[in-house]
Amino acid sequence: MNVVLYLALAFGFYMAWSIGSNDAANAMGTSVGSKAITFKEAVIIAAVFEFGGAIIAGGDVTSTIRDGIINAEAFTQMAGPGAEIFAIGMMSALVAAAIWIHIAAFLGWPVSTTHSIVGAVTGFGVASVGASEVAWGKLLNIVLSWGFSPVLGGLLAFLSFSAIRKLVFDADDSVAAVKRWSPVLTFPVFLVLALVTFFKGLSNLNLEQDYGVELPHMIGISGAGALAASGLVWIILQQVDLSTGRAGRDTEADDDEEDDEAKYQAVERVFRYLQVITACFVAFAHGSNDVANSIGPLAAVVNLFEVDIFGGGTAWVGASQFGSQVPVPKWILLLGGLGIVVGLATYGYRVIQTIGSKITDITPSRGFAAEFGAATTIMIGTKAGIPLSTTHTVVGAVIGVGFARGMNALNLQIIWDIIKSWIYTIPFTGVLTVILFYGFRFLLI
């Protein structure tokens, strides 16, 4: 059975690469699209925060079967080689999800890694232990979240950008307005980002159970950090000269236009820095939470072996290692983090182009509003236990800031293509997993 382990490791890295090529755009798409950072800088940020999140806060365990779609215990009751079936099924799910995410990245479609895994595992469950062991109610909840997450993300982004436009860009002196309002806007943004880090980014560390850090502590720490960030922004803006440097010039029409453009660029520079900070938080949360969950099938296969990664030894353990949770060795998180960074660096530009420029034109202020709307939705959904998709949320938020400028600001054809890709995800990965499962079973058992 060692061949199954080696194949699973190779496919696990492929899955991580696919995540990087598609999912990493959630954190970096609007920042690159707004030219707040270059693509090269996005890769560097991802290397630090995605990789760091996976290693530092990736957790010691992960779900064997994402979101409890099928019951892992059913395999212990199977007649015949239940453990081998389970290993091959998890490997099939891994490959099917990775292939679909890769195809979507090639076409520039931002799709959900979580939904890809859910669809793949559903197909494996139907093919192996039967449709009766599939939690169809949970699957329905996931499907229903397709509407909730992009709509709420879009609404919050729309309101955020509308507020920024009214408070800052429509003011008589936009430079003075951004100095006045940026510290105020910083507080809710950092509060939400800190809570997202607690609820999602650090969720694998079991802070409440193992460290006694409960919800009031999280809110208190987040509030204090947000207040400190607001104060720091206020201090910095008092020291920085955002003026256009055109004092004393004649006020001819062309000069006025140049002054307006200079002021606009000065305001956008402020949002550029806030947007980059937001991207770092989102990248860390993605690396720590989504990576470990997405490589759950790989961890499930590895758990069926005793693996000495440095000594080169493996031993088949088998059926005794089933359960709803399995340990995740650090080297698996390392593999996942490395794969994500490589995927983003080599192929992530396609989905980044879609999120950052093809749906609507993104500036730093619009990207900032989109990321804040998405982060707030993620915080609400995570704490409420709603199985939302980060990808769907970010896309909805980008649509929201575009809609704030009118329907003409949106590329409706691109939006329709994205929606179709979301509909295809679960059935495509489910059917492909069934095909791969029977093929691997024929070849390996």
**What span, in angstroms and rounded, lies between the C-alpha atoms of 147 and 151?**
6
pTM for the model stands at 0.86
End-to-end CA distance of the chain: 9
List, for residues 376-415, the tens digit of each pLDDT value. 888 888 777 777 788 999 999 999 999 999 999 999 999 9
**Six token digits for residue 10:** 């190779």
pLDDT top residue among 68 and 323: 68
Mean pLDDT check: name the lowest of 94-108, 182-196, 416-430: 182-196
Whether 327 has a pLDDT exceeding 90, the answer reads no
Please give the average per-residue pLDDT across 30-44, as a whole number: 91
Give the pLDDT of residue 246.
41
Q: What is the mean pLDDT of the chain?
A: 83
pLDDT top residue among 287 and 231: 231
Whether 328 has a pLDDT exceeding 80, the answer reads no
Give the pLDDT of residue 422.
94
Whether 203 has a pLDDT exceeding 80, the answer reads no
**Please, which residues have CB within 8 angstroms of residue 136's CB and are 6 or more apart in sequence?**
none
Confirm if 334 and 5 have CB atoms less than 8 A apart: no
Give the pLDDT of residue 60.
59
Whether 308 has a pLDDT exceeding 70, the answer reads no
Whether 307 has a pLDDT exceeding 50, the answer reads yes
Give the pLDDT of residue 231.
94
Domain boundaries along the sequence of the chain:
2-444
Please give the average per-residue pLDDT across 86-93, as a whole number: 86
Which of 41-55, 81-95, 167-181, 410-424 is predicted most confidently?
A: 410-424
Cβ neighbour number for residue 19 with a 10 Å cutoff: 28
**Pick from 333, 326, 334: nearest CA to 303:** 326
Give the pLDDT of residue 103.
96
**What span, in angstroms and rounded, lies between the C-alpha atoms of 160 and 112?**
24
Place 50 in a pLDDT band, splitting at 50, 70 and 90. Answer: confident
Please give the average per-residue pLDDT across 212-228, as a whole number: 92
Give the pLDDT of residue 62.
62
Element (H, E) at 314: strand 313-316
Give the pLDDT of residue 81.
65
Please give the average per-residue pLDDT across 25-50, as a whole number: 89
Give the β-pairing of 325-327 and 313-316.
unpaired
Strand partners, 134: 70
Which of 246-260, 282-296, 409-423 is predicted most confidently?
A: 409-423
Place 430 in a pLDDT band, splitting at 50, 70 and 90. Answer: very high
Place 256 in a pLDDT band, splitting at 50, 70 and 90. Answer: low
**What span, in angstroms and rounded, lies between the C-alpha atoms of 230 and 59?**
31
Residue type, 60: D
Give the pLDDT of residue 258.
66
Please give the average per-residue pLDDT across 316-332, as a whole number: 63
Give the pLDDT of residue 378.
84
Please give the average per-residue pLDDT across 12-26, as a whole number: 89
**CA separation, residue 118 to residues 94, 142, 241 (Å):** 10, 9, 51
**Six token digits for residue 303:** 């758990």
Whether 247 has a pLDDT exceeding 50, the answer reads no
**Six token digits for residue 410:** 């949106």
Confirm if 394 and 26 have CB atoms less than 8 A apart: yes
Give the pLDDT of residue 148.
85
Give the pLDDT of residue 444.
82
pLDDT top residue among 320 and 352: 352
Give the pLDDT of residue 412.
95
Please give the average per-residue pLDDT across 184-210, as a whole number: 84
